[in-house]
Amino acid sequence: MTTRLQAVILDWAGTTIDYGCRAPARAFVELFADFDLHVTDAEARAPMGMFKRDHIAAMLEMTRVREEWARIHQAVPGENDVERLYQAFIPRQNAVIAQYTDLIPGVIDAVASFRTMGLKIGSCTGYTRAMMDTVIPAARAQGYQPDVTVTPDEAGAGRPAPYMCYLNAIQLGVYPMWTMVKIGDTVVDVQEGLNAGMWTIALAQTGNELGLSESEIDALSADSLAQLLSAARRRLHGAGAHYVVDSLSEAPRILEQINTRLDAGEKP
């Protein structure tokens, strides 16, 4: 049995595309506004990485959002409201998603390094397959094409359940799970990888935890950026990530460190 890494499983928005993970955050804010409820960017981002229907349910469980919904709609939100919001969310997300498919800088070189290391490349997401039908061709046109993409509606559940990782492993033909690394930018990405028995690398700068575009980051002072990154790293370390770096471009050197640990008999 191999003691070297065989595959990585990459998230999409905030990890390989859509610097700042802006498409879903924007869609959730606009969705709730359609139902006369203002939610903050932070509230929209808190459950990020989940299957989008689960994300809506999690937002409706937030105390402020739940109480405000009850005040506006004269009833506490229930399952029918979750479904109603989700059905309204689908076309809104589809309309927004095409605007946020640019690859994050460094992704092409990082993926090339993974290939040079002999790794297979899987991927998973909080988007449905129908949503990914817009994203995948756009990424391919820019030179990025993982070997496998699995969506929550195909796996039976989204994060933090490990099923998308398991289905990636099956489709990639890779085992055991500890020879694979989950890389993503949210707390539930980390939880998903841990639940699957994988190594985990979390990205602090390019994704949801910072939630800023490149131009917004460039406008920050060095001290402000350092404070925001420190807080993002703490959240991701707190979720149990084995490693936290700023972007995917830093992942190849981490994978070499993991290989060293595997050679020494360590497992996640």
Which positions are catalytic?
Answer: 11, 52
Q: Can you tell me the distance from the alpha carbon of 186 to that of 243, in angstroms, rounded to the nearest whole number?
A: 13
Q: Can you tell me the distance from the alpha carbon of 221 to that of 212, in angstroms, rounded to the nearest whole number?
A: 14
Residue burial 13-46, b: 16+ Cβ < 10 Å; e: rest:
bbbbbbbbbbbbbbbbbbbbeeeebebeeebbbb
Q: Can you tell me the distance from the alpha carbon of 17 to that of 22, in angstroms, rounded to the nearest whole number?
A: 10
**Cβ neighbours for 247, distance < 8 A, ≥ 6 positions apart:** 104, 105, 106, 203, 205, 206
SS3 115: helix
Contact 111, 87 (CB under 8 A): no
β-partners of residue 184 are: 202
Q: Which two tokens stand for residue 211?
A: 């939630």
Contact 155, 41 (CB under 8 A): no
Contact 34, 229 (CB under 8 A): no
Q: Can you tell me the distance from the alpha carbon of 39 to that of 31, in angstroms, rounded to the nearest whole number?
A: 9
**Cβ neighbours for 74, distance < 8 A, ≥ 6 positions apart:** none
